[in-house]
Amino acid sequence: MRGGTTTTWRLVSLSPLPLWALVGLGILILLGVVLAVVGLSREPSSWRRRVLLLLRLLAGAMALFFLLEPGLRQLAQVRVKNRLAVLIDRTASMGFPTRPEGPSRASAAAEALQRFAPGLEGLKDSFTVEVLGFSPELGPVPAESLATPGSGNRTDLMAALRALKATDTGGTRKLAGAILLSDGADNGELQGGLTPKLTEELKALGFPVSTVRVGEPALVDLAVENVKVDDFAFVRNAVSVELELHGRGLKGRDVPVVLQREGVTVGTRTVHLDSEDDRKPVSFTFTPDQTGRFVYTVGAPVFPGEAVTENNSRSFVLKVIRDRVRVLLVVGRPTWDERFLRGLLKQDPNVDLVSFYILRTTADDTQTRNPERELSLIPFPMEEIFDTKLHTFDVVVFQNFGYAEPSLNIASYERNLEAYVQGGGALVYIGGDHAFGEARAMYPVLDRALPVDPTGSPSLQEPFRLKLTADGLRHPVTRVQTSEPATQSSWDELPPASGVNLVRPKAGATVLLEHPTARVDGRPAPVLALWEYGRGRALALMTDDSWTWAFTARKAGGQSRHYDRFWGNALRWLVRDPDLTSLQVLADPPTVEPGRPPGAVVTARQPDYQPAASAEVRVDLFSLADRKVLQSRSAVAGNDGVARVSFDPVPVGAYKLRATARLGGKELGEADDAVAVRSTGPELADASVRTELLAEVARVTGGRAYQLPLGSLPDVPLLDPPMVEVGRSKDAPLWDRWGWLVALAVLLGTEWLLRRRFGYV
């Protein structure tokens, strides 16, 4: 029987004598008995000997009784209520269905708990029943939220039991047992099963853990698990993605695994599953060709009857950065313009320069008998640089290049170059007597990518002062000083340019430098123009005199770094240095846990690259799967030009953020970023139910293993609650009755009388 206060009696010694005195007196009594035995050894009559010995023994016992002063002690005791813990798995895997098309495991657990309720109620006389959740931290869980799957991204049964044990502080906190409702999908310490050490630790818990398996073992499921990839990669450098394909019930199947970047297939692997429960490593190696943040998705097809389909694909965000800006410099002929640009690019540790100069044309006479052995020249590898390797460059610079002779004419690669810019590359076209239609070669296709059109007129070869346009004063390429007046002054101080190719700017081009007097179509002749072409950028400089900014301008000894800053700015703008874009959007964070709200931080700048305070910012969140805008948010930028928006949680998948901004009715630009909604841990990768693990835990701890469905609370083993003494005790002496004294006197008297009669006294 459990519960209630009870009274118990206990026989105790009430003697005030110390223990040594009691022992001494006891020895004396024993000696008295021994002397009697010795004294009676010659008695011929056995019955006399027995009677006398019996009387002496009884007298000794009676003397001992008086010596110990026995009494009864009354004790009041109560049976303490122990705790019964019901542990509910609140991790994300409980969101998986119990079976295909079935309710979630969390729902099944909640329903089971309702069925257990009467049984648990019945135990409340003896036990305090606590319902706790773990995800993996242990804590109370409201009954109304039980049916909703938790968001815990890690199942660690051992940690939960350890935390439960820590609450067992004895007394009323002592645990009588635990009932664990879980799918057993442990990805913590028990992921690999029970080890001897963990077994010992489970045994040491000191209470039985009965397990209730939630969910049915899936017959068929395919899961992409353990995706391993770095958070960032370098553009044009190989990246490896490693993962495991876990297939159950798909023995003998060939499964195609596809890696996609925002809908574009990057690689495909076919995996053969050899057993009913097979894990196969899969790896992809690819080379990103663009910088930015992209969502990559590894996916496998969904087979009929799969328990869970969400784990057939996994998305991750990869930030692709550049290690160094890779520049291809193609030079029509050696000039001082080329010399100083090369010097600048070669000394920049952030630039990886690959150059090709035309040092000799077929018209040149090298005065050699054996050119192969006497000259260091190599053939112009047009196919290699303008076809196979073109995509490996961030920026292609043509410097006064425009040969018509077949061995140097790049006309057959025009389309490649135009497509390169269209696809995100950057092109710089520097003028001179071989450029912009002055050459014998024309490149009409490549010209499409340029921000200017050749006029067909000969170049002007009169010295002139460069004129910075209003756009040039603010544009990051030409803003060589921190303030506009200083920038203007810096350009004004440059030596005169000696000539300019006559071109006309295209619609959409931005002219940063112009001729002060020469005009084309009624407008000042542009000297520096740029624009965005497709996904790429192009810059045209219609003079070959920029080297004088580095050298001639320093004849007076100034320390101006005008030349370095101009070309540094140009390169940064061409490769879309984030610091030089007018609008930036960053997913915050780039990977969102399921159920959490995606967010974005937008930084808006004005055309002069000052913070666009009060800009109206709009951010669209759209799915990469169906290219539909799912949610839109608007915000107003603060004084720092920054606005933050947050979206409602969206399902697991890959998404794109597109930001636009307006200030004073003018568009400030558009920017993209990527966000992946997925569990960062392995929780949602594996939908398996670990029946064996749950059974082992129950067996080792002394509990029992059950499986849902259960109609009611099973008869789980529980430790009996201990009895605890409460209140004060009460002693009742037994020895101080007169009858005991009479009995002792009678015994001693009888022995004396018999001894006299038998002749011993």
> Nearest approach, Cβ of 431 to other proteins (angstroms)?
8
Nearest to other proteins of 554, 618 (CB atom): 554
Joined together, the tokens standing for residue 135 give 């995800």
Nearest to other proteins of 165, 342 (CB atom): 342
Nearest to other proteins of 300, 497 (CB atom): 497
Coil vs helix vs strand at 543: coil
If you write DSSP's letter for every residue of 575-605 in order, what string do you get? TT-GGG-SEEEEESSSEE-TTSPPEEEEEEB
What backbone phi and psi angles, to 5 degrees, belong to 647? -110, 165
> Nearest approach, Cβ of 452 to other proteins (angstroms)?
13
Q: How far apart are CA 216 and CA 248, in angstroms?
A: 13
> Nearest approach, Cβ of 282 to other proteins (angstroms)?
35
What backbone phi and psi angles, to 5 degrees, belong to 237? -115, 140
Coil vs helix vs strand at 447: helix
> Nearest approach, Cβ of 346 to other proteins (angstroms)?
7
User: How do strand 591-592 and strand 666-677 relate by DSSP bridges?
Assistant: parallel
> Nearest approach, Cβ of 566 to other proteins (angstroms)?
15
> Nearest approach, Cβ of 518 to other proteins (angstroms)?
6
Q: How far apart are CA 50 and CA 38, in angstroms?
A: 13
Nearest to other proteins of 504, 699 (CB atom): 504
**Phi/psi zone of residue 158: left (φ > 0), alpha (ψ -120 to 50 degrees), beta?**
alpha
> Nearest approach, Cβ of 235 to other proteins (angstroms)?
20
Nearest to other proteins of 503, 659 (CB atom): 503
Residues 6 or more apart whose Cβ sits within 8 Å of residue 97: 103, 104, 105, 215, 307, 308
Q: How far apart are CA 433 and CA 272, in angstroms?
A: 62
User: How do strand 175-182 and strand 209-213 relate by DSSP bridges?
Assistant: parallel
Q: 256 preceded by cis ω (within 30°)?
A: no
> Nearest approach, Cβ of 526 to other proteins (angstroms)?
13
Joined together, the tokens standing for residue 505 give 């700017």
> Nearest approach, Cβ of 553 to other proteins (angstroms)?
8
> Nearest approach, Cβ of 297 to other proteins (angstroms)?
37
CA 551 vs. chain centroid, Å, equals 52
Nearest to other proteins of 68, 428 (CB atom): 428
> Nearest approach, Cβ of 361 to other proteins (angstroms)?
5
Nearest to other proteins of 356, 735 (CB atom): 356
Nearest to other proteins of 555, 628 (CB atom): 555
Cβ atoms of residues 138 and 170 within 8 Å: no
Nearest Cα neighbor of 652 from 592, 707, 704 is 592
User: How do strand 264-272 and strand 254-261 relate by DSSP bridges?
Assistant: antiparallel
Q: CB-hemisphere CA count at 13 Å for 540? A: 34
What backbone phi and psi angles, to 5 degrees, belong to 655? -135, 160
CA-to-CA dists, residue 124 to 80, 167, 178, 181, 689, angstroms: 12, 19, 14, 20, 31
Q: How far apart are CA 389 and CA 382, in angstroms?
A: 10
Cβ atoms of residues 585 and 599 within 8 Å: no
What backbone phi and psi angles, to 5 degrees, belong to 307? -65, -45
Q: How far apart are CA 218 and CA 249, in angstroms?
A: 8
Residues 6 or more apart whose Cβ sits within 8 Å of residue 694: 180, 182, 184, 211, 212, 213, 705
Nearest to other proteins of 496, 664 (CB atom): 496
Torsion of the alpha carbons at 290, 294, 299 and 302, rounded to the nearest 10 = -130
Nearest to other proteins of 434, 576 (CB atom): 434
Cβ atoms of residues 509 and 451 within 8 Å: yes
Q: How far apart are CA 760 and CA 749, in angstroms?
A: 14
Nearest to other proteins of 256, 558 (CB atom): 558
Q: How far apart are CA 459 and CA 463, in angstroms?
A: 12
> Nearest approach, Cβ of 547 to other proteins (angstroms)?
8
Nearest to other proteins of 414, 545 (CB atom): 545
> Nearest approach, Cβ of 464 to other proteins (angstroms)?
9
Nearest to other proteins of 391, 658 (CB atom): 391
> Nearest approach, Cβ of 220 to other proteins (angstroms)?
54
> Nearest approach, Cβ of 427 to other proteins (angstroms)?
21
Nearest Cα neighbor of 566 from 466, 464, 644 is 466
If you write DSSP's letter for every residue of 86-114 in order, what string do you get? EEEE-BGGGGSBSSTT--BHHHHHHHHHH
> Nearest approach, Cβ of 157 to other proteins (angstroms)?
57
- The one-letter code for the residue type at 580 is L
> Nearest approach, Cβ of 612 to other proteins (angstroms)?
38
Q: Is 369 exposed, middle or buried (0-12, 13-18, 19+ CB in 10 A)?
A: exposed
Return the ∠ at Cα 100 (arms to 94 and 103), rounded to 5°.
50
Nearest to other proteins of 338, 514 (CB atom): 338
Greatest CA span in the chain, whole angstroms? Answer: 164
> Nearest approach, Cβ of 523 to other proteins (angstroms)?
10
Nearest to other proteins of 551, 740 (CB atom): 551
Q: How far apart are CA 687 and CA 104, in angstroms?
A: 12
Joined together, the tokens standing for residue 489 give 């002054």
Joined together, the tokens standing for residue 51 give 């009677």
